[in-house]
């Protein structure tokens, strides 16, 4: 049985290891506001099922969720319109292409492959049948992160809205093929807002804790998300959550995870452990380079791989 101070030490080691890769990547700049992030930042938060919270580095620096929002919008769509409707509009397969690719849309491989790529997420957001989908989304994020003060980063939202031409192309292509129902501009506006919600690693680690415990909050004992929804979300995180690096990350870390170009990664680990990392320097695939290396390190150290030998739990 590990003590919190043992885990603190391991997080420090992970941080050191992650930092050694920071010079090999760069901060996202295709959304101008994201380019302002400090490339030296790297942080992590890990929460055990009993609520013990371990933090290291720049764990408290706020960042926008970006693609991590896709896990929340999938939960909301499944909750509001159900499995059949959502998966009649979007598939469940990894793409092998980058997150904002339009190749498959143009070659009529429809519907979009999965809800973790931009095309699939835009369709998923379009499915959410509620009077104010963004407010419902924000409410869900606040509840699952246990943090009422979580809010939209207005500057990032406006920056993305003004520079999001590829996403606009995706939405109109989807509309022309009758996949996207409703006004593309309105759906895009919701999608941009969702991506621009600001969190810290502790917020996301709290959410990861719930995912890691099949929707149950082990601290309060409350069922926060239906188990069948968590199973779908975690499966898609494992197979599609790390862009076109999902296969390699599944082999090396084996933790259902979702990254965002803002530098965050949310990771729902074995043994009911919730983890989140932040480091805005990205590798060529768009994943936080410090984050993936910290998670790979922890997976080995704490036996967190999905297919690890379950008889030797180490935490």
Rank residues 42 and 69 by Cβ distance to ligand GLU and give the closer one: 69
Centre a 10 Å sphere on the Cβ of residue 181 and count the other Cβ atoms it contains: 13
**HEC secondary structure over 204-253:** HHHHHHHHHCCCECCCCCCECCCHHHHHHHHHHHHHHCCHHHHHHHHHHC
Rank residues 71 and 167 by Cβ distance to ligand GLU and give the closer one: 167
Residue showing tokens 């992590």: 44
Please report how close the Cβ of residue 12 comes to ligand GLU at its closest, in angstroms. Answer: 28
Distances, alpha carbon 147 to alpha carbons 94, 207, 282, in Å = 32, 10, 27
Build a one-symbol-per-residue string for 15-54: x at contacts with ligand GLU by CB under 6 A, - elsewhere.
Answer: ----------------------------------------
Known catalytic residues? 67, 70, 191, 243, 261
C-alpha span between 213 and 258 (Å, rounded): 17
Using CB under 6 A, which of 21, 67, 205, 217 touches ligand GLU?
67
Build a one-symbol-per-residue string for 93-122: x at contacts with ligand GLU by CB under 6 A, - elsewhere.
Answer: ------xx-----------------x----
Please report how close the Cβ of residue 99 comes to ligand GLU at its closest, in angstroms. Answer: 4
Using CB under 6 A, which of 133, 260, 263, 290 touches ligand GLU?
260
Centre a 10 Å sphere on the Cβ of residue 241 and count the other Cβ atoms it contains: 31
C-alpha span between 73 and 136 (Å, rounded): 10
Please report how close the Cβ of residue 187 comes to ligand GLU at its closest, in angstroms. Answer: 13
| 82-87, Cβ contacts within 8 angstroms, sequence gap of 24 or more | 83/228, 83/232, 85/127, 86/115, 86/124, 86/127
Please report how close the Cβ of residue 33 comes to ligand GLU at its closest, in angstroms. Answer: 11
Rank residues 53 and 169 by Cβ distance to ligand GLU and give the closer one: 169
**Taking CB under 6 A as the rule, does residue 160 contact ligand GLU?**
yes
Build a one-symbol-per-residue string for 186-215: x at contacts with ligand GLU by CB under 6 A, - elsewhere.
Answer: ---------x--------------------
Phi/psi-derived region of residue 245, left when phi > 0, alpha when psi is between -120 and 50, beta in every other case: alpha
Using CB under 6 A, which of 211, 216, 261, 267 touches ligand GLU?
261
Phi/psi-derived region of residue 57, left when phi > 0, alpha when psi is between -120 and 50, beta in every other case: left
Residues at the site binding ligand GLU, with contacts judged by CB under 6 A: 66-67, 99-100, 118, 160, 167, 195, 260-261, 286
């Amino acid at each position: 049985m590990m003590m919190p101070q043992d885990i603190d030490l391991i997080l420090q080691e992970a941080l050191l290891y992650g930092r050694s890769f920071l010079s090999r990547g760069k901060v996202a700049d295709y959304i101008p506001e994201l380019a302002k992030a400090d490339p030296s930042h790297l942080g992590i938060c890990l929460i055990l099922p009993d609520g013990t919270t371990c933090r290291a580095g720049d764990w408290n620096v706020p960042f926008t969720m970006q693609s991590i929002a896709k896990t929340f919008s999938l939960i909301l769509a499944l909750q509001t319109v159900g499995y059949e409707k959502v998966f009649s509009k979007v598939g469940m397969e990894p793409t092998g292409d980058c997150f904002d690719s339009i190749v498959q849309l143009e070659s009529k491989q429809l519907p979009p492959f999965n809800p973790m790529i931009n095309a699939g997420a835009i369709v998923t957001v379009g499915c959410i049948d509620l009077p104010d989908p963004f407010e419902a989304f924000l409410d869900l994020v606040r509840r699952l992160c246990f943090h009422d003060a979580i809010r939209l980063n207005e500057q990032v939202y406006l920056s993305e809205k003004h520079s999001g031409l590829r996403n606009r192309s995706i939405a109109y292509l989807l509309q022309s093929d009758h996949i996207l129902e409703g006004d593309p501009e309105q759906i895009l506006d919701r999608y941009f807002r969702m991506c621009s919600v600001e969190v810290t690693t502790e917020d996301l680690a709290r959410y990861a804790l719930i995912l890691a415990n099949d929707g149950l909050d082990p601290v309060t004992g409350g069922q926060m998300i239906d188990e069948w929804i968590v199973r779908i979300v975690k499966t898609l995180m494992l197979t599609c959550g790390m862009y076109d690096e999902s296969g390699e990350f599944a082999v090396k870390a084996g933790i259902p995870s979702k990254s965002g170009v803002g530098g965050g990664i949310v990771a729902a680990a074995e043994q009911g452990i919730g983890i989140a990392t932040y480091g805005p320097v990205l590798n060529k695939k768009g994943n936080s380079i410090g984050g993936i290396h910290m998670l790979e390190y922890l997976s080995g150290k704490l036996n967190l791989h999905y297919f690890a030998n379950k008889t030797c739990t180490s935490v």
